[in-house]
Structure 1
């Protein structure tokens, strides 16, 4: 109910106020399994991507969001579940394997799964080295990958600032990448990296970012 209300009222309001530039939205299938792989500049990316795609997109979220105490905690947990988000316990040593398994299950249900292959928000606006989870999901599930280039959201919601600023935004959807029928290739590390780089190159073309061959997590202040 909450998601439906947001889809009918909230998302049109976001489109009307921010007027994001959207290209290639017709490449996102209206139904069926699809992996929405994007660069990650801001927490607001999880709003603007489904707004532009005009389809519900499920994301993995930190488990802490689902078990906070009090009334507010229960509301947040309910909201995340209604939006289709899935809890991930990052402290679990088997979290990565469990996340891939859960992602494949969601895709098997015909859902759109959003993923940020950088693993975290870019700390400097550059595009950083991708983790291979997107390749594992694509190869194991056979679902098409829609590369997405997001521009400007880092100026809309700035870390540490709760206010949303009206700034130019663009969401560009690229041509679907098909890795179906290649489940056995998941066993090959070189192929995992090859597929990952194919997705990365497509996203970089769409986002126009400078590429840095190091993980975003290692570029965070204090790391």
Structure 2
């Protein structure tokens, strides 16, 4: 399949990154299979984790089809990219359709990327993993490929300004050996997380961390929230999201009531 839009992205985006940053270094590139399906599991510290993982796939002459939250389809430009790059939108309240599509793509020999943590880690440490990556890999009979991206959160993460242009930020990407997914989803997920935790620590030890910087984990002397603080921030974020949804629903019901009275 020619996929001219994806090909255009492959030509343009790396050139922009070479001129402006971020600059991606990849360790373990050969661990991405050169053919056949695989679930590429990436840690989640940024809105841009997909980029270094996609660069790694490109260097293996592969294309990575990332799972992306379905709310992004409401942004016209992003929706265009999702459709033409054949990404997989996920409705978090009803993810069965995305799951089935991902398994089908994997069985067809594609690389599918996802973040097992499901949401960005404000502490920049690994959060608990969902079992989706393990379930997809086992259902499709394909391996799991653990990937750690470190440094991209300096470009764009939660609660901090974006630095998309002329940032020249180094990004370290570590790719682990493919893992088999057993029928025991809990055990496979735990093994995946443990493997990625070791890889993350290795990446962090290789990367310079200025004391007090907001993007440096607390245990490394940085200013990032601790895991406990990050969880509290996430709980407050979800509560505020629920409050807004209730408020919007009440507003819609109020308008419908007024419209109904006006019609009479």
TM-score range with shorter-chain normalisation? Answer: 0.7 to 0.9
Distance verdict in 2 for CA 1:200–1:119, change over 3 Å: same
Root-mean-square deviation (CA), in Å?
2.5
Aligned residues: 205
1:24-173 equivalent positions in 2, closer than 5 A: 24-54=28-58, 55-68=62-75, 73=76, 75-90=77-92, 92=93, 95-159=94-158, 160-164=160-164, 165-173=167-175
Question: What secondary structure sits across from 1:14 in the alignment?
Answer: helix
1:6 is aligned to 2:20: no
1:178 and 1:3 mapped to 2: Cα distance?
Answer: 29
2:104 and 2:144 mapped to 1: Cα distance?
Answer: 16
2:136 and 2:171 mapped to 1: Cα distance?
Answer: 28
2:100 and 2:117 mapped to 1: Cα distance?
Answer: 19
Structure with more relative contact order (C-alpha pairs < 8 Å, separation 6 or more): 1
2:155 and 2:227 mapped to 1: Cα distance?
Answer: 26
Out of 178, 188, 191, the position equivalent to 1:195 is 188
Question: What secondary structure sits across from 1:84 in the alignment?
Answer: coil
Number of the residue aligned with 1:188: none
Alpha-carbon deviation of 1:106? 1.3
For structure 1, which runs of at least 5 residues remain unmatched after alignment? 186-190
Residues 147 and 174 in structure 2, CA contact (< 8 A), matched pair in contact too: yes
Q: Based on CA coordinates, which of the two structures has the bigger radius of gyration?
A: 2
Alpha-carbon deviation of 1:157? 1.4
Give the TM-score normalised by the residue count of structure 1.
Answer: 0.81
For structure 2, which runs of at least 5 residues remain unmatched after alignment? 205-216, 220-225, 238-264
Give the TM-score normalised by the residue count of structure 2.
Answer: 0.69
Between structures 1 and 2, the one with greater helix share: 2
Number of the residue aligned with 2:253: none
1:40 and 1:220 mapped to 2: Cα distance?
Answer: 14
Residues 118 and 128 in structure 1, CA contact (< 8 A), matched pair in contact too: yes
Question: What secondary structure sits across from 2:170 in the alignment?
Answer: coil
Residues 41 and 154 in structure 1, CA contact (< 8 A), matched pair in contact too: yes
